[in-house]
Chains A and B, each alone.
Chain A
Amino acid sequence: MEMHFDQHISRQFNEDLESLKSEMLEMGGMVTRQVADAVEALANADSELADKVLRVEKEIDRREMDLDEHATLIIAKRQPAASDLRMVMSVIRISRDLERVGDEAAKIAKMAIELTEEGTAPRGYTEIRHIASAVRKMLNDALDAYTRFDVKAALATLAEDEQVDMDYRTALREMITYMMEDPRSISRVMNVLWSLRSLERIGDHAKNICEQVVYLVEGADIRHGHEENLRKL
């Protein structure tokens, strides 16, 4: 079934849904930027940029609350059904994921500040850059798939998470080797490790967003590995 949210008899309803969607995508844009900035701050030991990430984080929290309120109002006023209901539900769920991505970005920014204060650049940045670029792409593609109601693209992006998880485990082993080689680096490498962990989590959230694209378009709940729900349709 094609997705059209601009064909309601009530024009106000069209506008409500449209602005809900665009507010969510705007928040998605901000959060994607946050991830890029946090990784940049970490790689370049740029504490100023890291501070900026922490400031913007508060704005993202506020956006999540605004989206929740907006969605609640639509439910109360319109009692949305079918694709409209799925749209509202998916926005509520995605905004939660985006807010958590924001939290992870803030964690990375905090690591960046700590690492900057400690001076010497530890090893492990290559791994961070590599995984960061993969999850940023995932996040971008997931939001893009949502914009275009593109289930195929969402499923393709969702599948990328497996590679991210694999890369994360490989990086983890590397970090352990570094720590074993030079125990004095443990606290610094731990910070890198936490950042890697945050990036891996961001990949999971991007995956969740992809699942919501499938839910919105097909009405199938494929969370927690229930992809068979999609085939059932």
Chain B
Amino acid sequence: MTTMTLDAGTTAPAATEQPEQDAVNTNTRVSETVGHPLCDDAKLSMRNVNVFYGETQAIHDVSLDIGRNEVVAMIGPSGCGKSTFLRCINRMNDTIESCRVEGDLTLDGEPIYGPKVDVVPLRARVGMVFQKPNPFPKTIYENVAYGPKIHGIASRRAELDEIVENSLRRAGLWNEVKDRLDKPGTGLSGGQQQRLCIARAIAVSPEVILMDEPCSALDPIATARIEELIDELRENYTIAIVTHSMQQAARVSQRTAYFHLGHLVEVNDTETVFTNPEHELTEAYITGRFG
């Protein structure tokens, strides 16, 4: 059984000391991570990622691939770095002054952190849904139509109408709001607002959707709808989801990544993680034991 030391004295080995990784061999042990952090058909590829908030290191040498049409769930206790890592993928951490991201992150082989990368189109390709629904203080229609308009995806009313209806349908919200598209999005219930945010995210036809605890403020029925939606969205998108609900991770994802104190401890098929995890720390976390 693989064990791992997490005390401050033993920092992660420097990138130069890493053995050459063969990206095709998904069984390669990357850094300290056990299991299968890499995959053959990677949409997103992250290598040796370190994240610092000022002097504090939040992410330690994390390498992870997210495959095309794959849902990867990221789980771990509060403060383990899973949200920070997720936010690296569409450069949301750029908005935090003291935050520094190191490592190689690529989307379809193109660097995410290149000097020439414009974050606006990047964020259209990599959409995000947050923990708390955050609709714009605009009408339901405008919430969904805003993205396609500013990204120049559609301008004519008929095109926009179609995108709005399509996105709302895919988010499972259409029937509930079709008669009040001109009412403010903020007037909807929590679950409806979250589905509106998902509709807004998919309206710009992203390739990747990042979800940061998308259901933590929702009731079980709204949660079930969104989980169902995630499964449908997988046909066309690559999805990374951070969740505090282990059952949710088990239900929606193909692979599960367990983070602990800024380290990526284990990545394995979700089936394996929830029936026979490789690492003691993963086992302790998912079974609710003292870690």
Grouping DSSP codes into helix (H, G, I), strand (E, B) and loop, the A interface class, with mixed when no group exceeds half, is: loop
The listed residue (A1, A7, A83) touching B290 by CB distance below 8 A is A7
Q: Are A9 and B276 in contact (CB under 8 A)?
A: no
A79 within 8 A of B: yes
Q: Are A82 and B288 in contact (CB under 8 A)?
A: no
Residues in B neighbouring A178, C-beta threshold 8 A: none
Min CB–CB distance A81 → chain B (angstroms): 5
Interface residues of A in 75-128 (CB under 8 A from B): 79-86
Grouping DSSP codes into helix (H, G, I), strand (E, B) and loop, the B interface class, with mixed when no group exceeds half, is: helix
A149 within 8 A of B: no
Q: Are A82 and B287 in contact (CB under 8 A)?
A: yes
Q: Are B288 and A8 in contact (CB under 8 A)?
A: yes
Min CB–CB distance A22 → chain B (angstroms): 19
Min CB–CB distance B73 → chain A (angstroms): 13
Please, how many angstroms separate the alpha-carbon atoms of A84 and B246 in the complex? Answer: 14
Q: Are B1 and A81 in contact (CB under 8 A)?
A: no
Q: Are B286 and A82 in contact (CB under 8 A)?
A: yes
Q: Are B1 and A4 in contact (CB under 8 A)?
A: no
Residues in A neighbouring B284, C-beta threshold 8 A: 7
Q: Are A219 and B283 in contact (CB under 8 A)?
A: no
Residues in B neighbouring A84, C-beta threshold 8 A: 287
Number of chain B residues close to chain A: CB under 8 A:
17
B116 within 8 A of A: no
Q: Are A85 and B289 in contact (CB under 8 A)?
A: no
Q: Are A8 and B289 in contact (CB under 8 A)?
A: yes
Q: Are A86 and B288 in contact (CB under 8 A)?
A: no
B148 within 8 A of A: no
Min CB–CB distance A214 → chain B (angstroms): 12
Please, how many angstroms separate the alpha-carbon atoms of A10 and B290 in the complex? Answer: 10
Interface residues of B in 177-227 (CB under 8 A from A): none
A194 within 8 A of B: no
Residues in A neighbouring B274, C-beta threshold 8 A: 81-82, 85
Residues in B neighbouring A13, C-beta threshold 8 A: 288
The listed residue (B246, B250, B286, B289) touching A4 by CB distance below 8 A is B289
B35 within 8 A of A: no
Interface 0/1 of B263-287, CB less than 8 Å to A: 0000000000011110010111011
Please, how many angstroms separate the alpha-carbon atoms of A1 and B277 in the complex? Answer: 10
B95 within 8 A of A: no
Q: Are B288 and A1 in contact (CB under 8 A)?
A: no
Interface residues of B in 5-33 (CB under 8 A from A): none
B247 within 8 A of A: yes
Residues in A neighbouring B276, C-beta threshold 8 A: 82, 86, 218-219
Interface residues of A in 39-98 (CB under 8 A from B): 79-86
Please, how many angstroms separate the alpha-carbon atoms of A86 and B283 in the complex? Answer: 12
Please, how many angstroms separate the alpha-carbon atoms of A90 and B283 in the complex? Answer: 18
Residues in B neighbouring A80, C-beta threshold 8 A: 287
Residues in A neighbouring B282, C-beta threshold 8 A: 82
Q: Are A219 and B289 in contact (CB under 8 A)?
A: no
Q: Are B287 and A79 in contact (CB under 8 A)?
A: no
Q: Are A1 and B289 in contact (CB under 8 A)?
A: no
Min CB–CB distance A67 → chain B (angstroms): 21
Interface 0/1 of A1-21, CB less than 8 Å to B: 110100111100100000000
Interface residues of B in 76-114 (CB under 8 A from A): none
Residues in A neighbouring B289, C-beta threshold 8 A: 4, 7-9
> Which residues of B does A touch, CB under 8 Å?
1, 246-247, 250, 274-277, 280, 282-284, 286-290
> Which residues of A does B touch, CB under 8 Å?
1-2, 4, 7-10, 13, 79-86, 218-219
A-B pairs, top 9 by smallest CB distance, nearest first, are A219-B276, A7-B289, A81-B286, A81-B274, A84-B287, A82-B283, A8-B288, A82-B287, A9-B288
Q: A9-B290, A82-B287 are in contact. List 18 more A-B contacts (CB 8 A).
A: A1-B1, A4-B289, A7-B290, A8-B287, A8-B288, A8-B289, A9-B288, A10-B288, A80-B287, A81-B274, A81-B275, A81-B286, A81-B287, A82-B283, A82-B286, A85-B275, A86-B276, A218-B276
10 CB < 8 A contacts A-B? A1-B280, A80-B287, A81-B250, A81-B286, A81-B287, A82-B276, A82-B282, A82-B283, A85-B274, A219-B275
